[in-house]
Amino acid sequence: MSMLLHALAAAALSQAPADAPADAAVEEIAPVAATPAPTARSAGTLTFGGAIRGRYDLRFDDADASGQPRRSSHLSFDTVILRADYDSPTWFAAGQYRFYGGNFMYRQAYGYENYPGEVSFPVYAYAGRKFGAGDKVTVGLQPVPFDDQYWGSAFLNSMGFAIGLEEVYNLGVAYEHAGRNWTVQAGYFPTTAPNAFGISDDSARYSVNVTGAGVSAPSSSRNEERDMVAGRVQRRLSTASGTQLAFSASAWLSTIRNLDTREDGSRRAYALSVKATNGPYHAKALVARQSFDLRDTGSRDVLSVGDYDSAYSIAARGDLVFAEVGRELALTALPFKASLYGSYARFMKDAAGFKDSERFNLGVFWTDKTAGRIKVWSEVLVGRNDPYVGAGQFATGAAQGGDDRWKTSALVIFGYYF
């Protein structure tokens, strides 16, 4: 792996806030940033890019420091993104690193000094080789092949992201065969993404991973995930009406080692989905089952997970349903284009007394027609027992549940991609 990818690997620090709002799950439609540097010898291209983003949050069901309900609004810095990609007929590599901090989510009340870059981590860092038409092998910090990398269009962490199934990046090796109508992916990941730079015990990373956070996490569970085997099969076909269909089946099997008992449990996750596109329209439906067999000394119905330098709890066993519809808008008289989407997700938990988590999401993604460098996501979210919508839900919303009330927030993310 190149020196660039080694530079993107991260190390560890400690201590996590008890309640911290979430960030984005869906990647930003590849940045338009490129500084090509092909040579006659390599026939490869090295490109660099990135983005700087801000955000505006309007929270209708927030709470003040004493716990009293209130509405709040925040205009703040979001992130700086740096990325590099290399591609040739035989070899490829990519890396992305992000810097957070310096906004209301990383406030001093949670133990932060609150400056941009106080929290940072790699998103991915991998290299690979292509073998003939449609075959490749990838090594490094890369997406785990479980359904589509991005299930839907929403910017804020989806319910699938929150429970650790959507857009997860771990360390390992993966194989892919992409044919005309079939795609087969399989990977082995001996360990999760590394804990990077922040103040949490074990949650300074981009995607949601099982964490050994200990007492700083709401469930006080201390586990780590090892020896992950994951794969996906997708079949694509076209109908007489011109609709493009993609059917996917996925599985994820792994070992969950409890750090207190030193005993091994397991994760078993499965998903089926179908996605349809026809002209400017798209739709997707997905069902998934996730089951953790834990070896904790305490409750085995909840599990500590973490991302973005914060730990929280999810239910150890449950079923997830997700559906989305969307349409691209032409807006021929305007200098930007837009994509409208709406989705619904529900996480139904097995444990007696646990409240289901639900979310409705309505959003529009905007980008300029000239170069695609300016990107804006605007979303309205309505959730119940949703860790990312409304005060008091983050710690246990995806586990036992919160206050079982519907709550609303709005989010605008705006960025310049270079």
Stretch 78-99: mean pLDDT, rounded?
97
Range(s) of the domain holding residue 9:
3-417
Stretch 218-242: mean pLDDT, rounded?
91
Give the pair of three-digit tokens for residue 385. 């027992």
**CATH number of the domain where residue 348 is located:** 2.40.160.10
Distance between CA atoms of 302 and 120, rounded to whole angstroms?
Answer: 27
Distance between CA atoms of 320 and 343, rounded to whole angstroms?
Answer: 13
Residue 301: pLDDT band with limits 50, 70, 90:
very high
pLDDT at 216: 57
Stretch 138-151: mean pLDDT, rounded?
97
pLDDT at 14: 34
Q: What separation, in Å, do the N-terminal and C-terminal C-alpha atoms of the chain show?
A: 25
Residues 317 and 293 sit within 8 Å (Cβ to Cβ)? no
Give the pair of three-digit tokens for residue 12. 């560890």
Residue 143: pLDDT band with limits 50, 70, 90:
very high
Q: Are strands 69-87 and 45-63 parallel, antiparallel or unpaired?
A: antiparallel
Distance between CA atoms of 335 and 166, rounded to whole angstroms?
Answer: 33
Q: What is the dihedral of CA 388, 391, 395, 401, to 10 degrees?
A: -80
Give the pair of three-digit tokens for residue 10. 């991260």
Stretch 220-230: mean pLDDT, rounded?
92
Give the pair of three-digit tokens for residue 92. 């490829």
Residues 189 and 171 sit within 8 Å (Cβ to Cβ)? yes
Percent of the chain at pLDDT above 90? 81
Distance between CA atoms of 77 and 56, rounded to whole angstroms?
Answer: 9
Distance between CA atoms of 262 and 369, rounded to whole angstroms?
Answer: 55
pLDDT tens-digit readout, 46-55: 999 999 999 9
Q: Quote the number of domains for the chain.
A: 1
pLDDT tens-digit readout, 21-74: 445 444 443 434 444 444 445 589 999 999 999 999 999 999 887 788 899 999
Q: Could you give phi then psi for residue 104, rounded to 5 degrees?
A: -65, -20
Give the pair of three-digit tokens for residue 241. 């009406």
Distance between CA atoms of 261 and 319, rounded to whole angstroms?
Answer: 28
**Per DSSP, what are the bridge partners of residue 247?**
235, 274
Distance between CA atoms of 189 and 173, rounded to whole angstroms?
Answer: 6
Which has the closest alpha carbon to 315: 344, 287, 290? 290
Q: How many other CB atoms are there within 10 angstroms of residue 156's CB atom? A: 26
Residues near 332 by beta carbon (within 8 Å), at least 6 away in sequence: none
pTM of this prediction?
A: 0.88
